[in-house]
Structure 1
Amino acid sequence: MQIKDFMIDQNLKELTEHRTVVLPVACYETTINQNINGYIPLHWHNELQFVLVRKGEAFFQINEEKITVREGEGLFINSSCLHMAKEKGDSGCVYICLNVSPSFVLSQELFTTFVRPYIQATNLPYLHLVPKELWANNILDSIMRINQLIKENPPYYEIDISVHLTFIWKNLIINGVQLEYEQKEVLKNQRMKQMLNWIHTHYAEKILLDDIARAGGLSRSECCRYFKRFLKKTAMHYVTDYRIQKSLLLLQQSESNVTDVAYQVGFNSTSYYIDKFRKSMNMTPLAYKKYKKSDLSL
Structure 2
Amino acid sequence: MQIKDFRIGGNLKELTEHRTVVLPVACYETTINQNIHGHIPLHWHDELQFVRVVQGEAEFQINEEKLVVRQGEGVFINSGCLHMAEDRNASGCVYICLNVSPDFVVSRELYAAYVAPYIQATNLPYLYIDPNQAWGVNILDALVNIHQWIQTQPPYFELNMTMQLAFIWKNLILNGFQLQYDQVEALKNERMKQMLSWIDNHYAEKIALNDIARAGQLSRSECCRYFKRMLHTTPLNYVTDYRLQKSAVLLQRADSSITEVAYQVGFNSTSYFIEKFRKAMKMTPLAYRKSKMDARS
Q: In which range does the TM-score fall when normalised by the shorter chain?
A: over 0.9
Describe the superposition over 1:117-168 as per-residue Cα deviations: whole angstroms up to 9, x where unpaired.
0000000000000111111111111011101111110001000000000100
Structure 2 CA distance for aligned equivalents of residues 224 and 230 of structure 1 = 10
- Partner residue in 2 for 1:168: 168
**Aligned structure 1 segments of 4 or more residues deviating by more than 2 angstroms:** none
| 2:213–2:223 Cα contact (<8 Å) kept | yes
Match runs of 1:58-69 below 5 Å: 58-69=58-69
- Partner residue in 1 for 2:180: 180
Structure 2 CA distance for aligned equivalents of residues 275 and 171 of structure 1 = 49
- Partner residue in 2 for 1:296: 296
Describe the superposition over 1:40-82 as per-residue Cα deviations: whole angstroms up to 9, x where unpaired.
0100000000000000001000001001001100000000000
**What's the secondary structure of 1:162's corresponding residue?**
helix
| 2:75–2:128 Cα contact (<8 Å) kept | yes
Task: Name structure 1 gaps, 5 residues minimum.
Answer: none
- Partner residue in 2 for 1:273: 273
| Alpha-carbon RMSD | 0.6
Structure 2 CA distance for aligned equivalents of residues 194 and 286 of structure 1 = 34
Describe the superposition over 1:5-47 as per-residue Cα deviations: whole angstroms up to 9, x where unpaired.
1100011100000000011000000000101111101000000
Match runs of 1:132-143 below 5 Å: 132-143=132-143
Letter in 2 for 1:285: P
Letter in 2 for 1:232: H
- Partner residue in 2 for 1:99: 99
| 2:64–2:231 Cα contact (<8 Å) kept | yes
Describe the superposition over 1:92-141 as per-residue Cα deviations: whole angstroms up to 9, x where unpaired.
10000000000000000000100000000000000000111111111111
Are 1:54 and 2:84 matched, yes or no?
A: no
- Partner residue in 2 for 1:194: 194
Match runs of 1:99-178 below 5 Å: 99-178=99-178
Structure 1 CA distance for aligned equivalents of residues 261 and 217 of structure 2 = 32
TM-score (norm 1): 0.99
Match runs of 1:197-216 below 5 Å: 197-216=197-216
TM-score (norm 2): 0.99
Letter in 2 for 1:220: R
Letter in 1 for 2:189: N
**What's the secondary structure of 1:197's corresponding residue?**
helix
Structure 2 CA distance for aligned equivalents of residues 128 and 253 of structure 1 = 39
Letter in 2 for 1:230: M
**What's the secondary structure of 1:256's corresponding residue?**
coil
Structure 1 CA distance for aligned equivalents of residues 148 and 206 of structure 2 = 48
- Partner residue in 2 for 1:256: 256
Letter in 1 for 2:278: R
Cα shift at 1:177: 0.7
Letter in 2 for 1:250: L
**What's the secondary structure of 1:8's corresponding residue?**
coil
Letter in 2 for 1:215: A
Letter in 2 for 1:63: N
**What's the secondary structure of 2:96's corresponding residue?**
strand
Structure 2 CA distance for aligned equivalents of residues 89 and 241 of structure 1 = 21
| 2:74–2:129 Cα contact (<8 Å) kept | yes
**What's the secondary structure of 1:52's corresponding residue?**
strand
Match runs of 1:71-110 below 5 Å: 71-110=71-110
Letter in 2 for 1:217: Q
Structure 1 CA distance for aligned equivalents of residues 170 and 246 of structure 2 = 41
- Partner residue in 1 for 2:14: 14
Structure 2 CA distance for aligned equivalents of residues 77 and 99 of structure 1 = 10
Range with greater deviation from structure 2 (140-149 or 248-257): 248-257
Structure 1 CA distance for aligned equivalents of residues 226 and 182 of structure 2 = 17
Letter in 1 for 2:75: L
Are 1:237 and 2:237 matched, yes or no?
A: yes
- Partner residue in 1 for 2:31: 31
Structure 2 CA distance for aligned equivalents of residues 10 and 245 of structure 1 = 15
| 2:37–2:249 Cα contact (<8 Å) kept | no
Letter in 1 for 2:235: A
